[in-house]
Chains A and B, each alone.
Chain A
């Protein structure tokens, strides 16, 4: 995935990033709860130029039966990118990256979803990346959480996600595509705001122990901003304007 401008300035002398943002400023985020007719729950997110759609089915019967668990429901997540979502057309078959991200997102949601309430069933989360621009896994996890709530799946908490990182020796919030490619570190983080637990954390890059601590703190604060937008999405759909 090359072709980036090597001379691009990631952080100028005024502390402004390559897309005009300040170091602690996330991109524009919009979340809509619902929207799909057939899925049990759904959500659509625009996170910067990322456009991601999530559909949830469940709890539902598991086929083949031997995959079900007698004591608890199971969570299945599929993160999938459309061929037209990236710069160079992507072939439809699942890539290793998609398979890894599917697993990481599943494990980020499992602490939140109360699967033990539905033995012998499955909850399926289908993530479709329609347009990608850095930070898709965080946007996907954020939307998946809203879709699960929309489906009425019992959850201990929401999971909100964003990536913090480092460019020009400075810790920043919400890493975009250019910063991911040319920057010094990228740390996607997923967080449950009420239970105060980190459920997704990955790192690409090099950080000193102090930078690492700051990066996690900045990420957690960023997740709280994302959570407010998740809340708004559910409020808008379910608790709408009175008398409409």
Chain B
């Protein structure tokens, strides 16, 4: 993400010492995510949107839904695309210019987490087979950085999609025409929730904050759906996990994911 800021040695030592005692610098338990606040419809002119704070990390997702051409060989499916951008105002080390590998990884992991869960049913997004489909674009921007962009971006996109409204189009004389008053909630099938865990020494911590992110040796992001099935996974960082640690992370992600899912559901209720 933001290229390595130098964490002062005292802080790094302190983080490890506390972990040995089962504690974290901000008082959380090892399996406890930070406070999550979601503001739905932050961008009223978009089809859906959510501004989200996870601790001091703040991200914004806007969903645009508009007619598009289908992919070749996929004329019976609409388009779903998720992008992520790290805005230079989010951290002093973020550079302008084309996205670097860490940000591309972030965008693709968030996209896969939602896509593989089949949250957006693209078979319902066809206007005319092979000619014209509906494109759903979830664009996420990071406004303030304090660790764990994977989860913050994923939750923002999910919340925005859950509360999006899609217009209706039909073909009239071969032209794509908007149907007046045809707006309806975007059909979704499940609520995917990603949980990112960092490995610091021999300890696994859920939702690493900025300082923990700099201290960790490896990380894994695991996405589960409303049925409790794991549908996407990405391991990163330059150290390795043991088999037991990986299994432990799988269990943690489903358990913590269920708690987060309740918050996303609440946001969805609020919008209705």
Contacts and interface: CB of A to CB of B under 8 A. Distances in A.
Q: Do chains A and B touch in the complex (CB under 8 A)?
A: yes
Interface of A: 36-40, 42, 49, 51, 53-55, 57, 60, 78, 80, 82-85, 87-89, 92, 124, 126, 128, 130-131, 133
Interface residues of B, number: 28
A84 B41 CA distance: 12
Pick the most buried of A39, A49, A53, A84: most chain B CB atoms within 10 A of its CB.
Answer: A84
Contact of A55 (B43, B56, B89, B146): B89
B76 to A, nearest CB: 23
Nearest to B95: A63
Give 10 closest A-B pairs by Cβ, nearest first: A84-B62, A55-B89, A89-B64, A83-B139, A126-B89, A84-B46, A126-B88, A38-B91, A131-B43, A37-B144
Contacts of A39: 89, 92
B49 interface: yes
A131 B42 CA distance: 10
Given A42-B89, A51-B43, A89-B137, A83 B145 contact: no
Given A42-B89, A55-B89, A84 B56 contact: no
Contacts of B43: 51, 84-85, 130-131
Contacts of A78: 88, 96
A60 B91 CA distance: 13
30 contacts: A37-B56, A37-B146, A38-B89, A38-B92, A38-B145, A39-B92, A40-B92, A49-B44, A49-B45, A55-B90, A78-B88, A80-B87, A82-B60, A82-B141, A83-B64, A84-B43, A84-B46, A84-B62, A84-B139, A85-B43, A88-B66, A89-B66, A89-B139, A92-B85, A126-B89, A126-B96, A128-B89, A130-B43, A130-B60, A131-B44
A182 to B, nearest CB: 19
A218 B92 CA distance: 39
Contact of B144 (A36, A82, A87, A88): A36
B143 interface: yes
B126 interface: no
Given A83-B137, A84-B49, A84-B63, A36 B88 contact: no
B83 interface: yes
A60 B94 CA distance: 13
Given A37-B56, A92-B83, A53 B66 contact: no
A52 to B, nearest CB: 11
A236 B178 CA distance: 45
A78 B89 CA distance: 10
Interface in B91-118: 91-92, 96
Contacts of A51: 43
B144 A83 contact: no
A168 to B, nearest CB: 26
Contact of A53 (B45, B62, B89): B89
A75 to B, nearest CB: 14
Nearest to A125: B89
Contacts of A92: 83, 85, 139
Given A89-B64, A89-B66, A54 B89 contact: yes
Given A37-B146, A84-B49, A124 B62 contact: no
A193 to B, nearest CB: 26
Pick the most buried of A54, A55, A57, A124: most chain B CB atoms within 10 A of its CB.
Answer: A55
Contacts of B85: 92
A207 B141 CA distance: 40
Nearest to B139: A83
Contact of B88 (A60, A84, A89, A124): A124
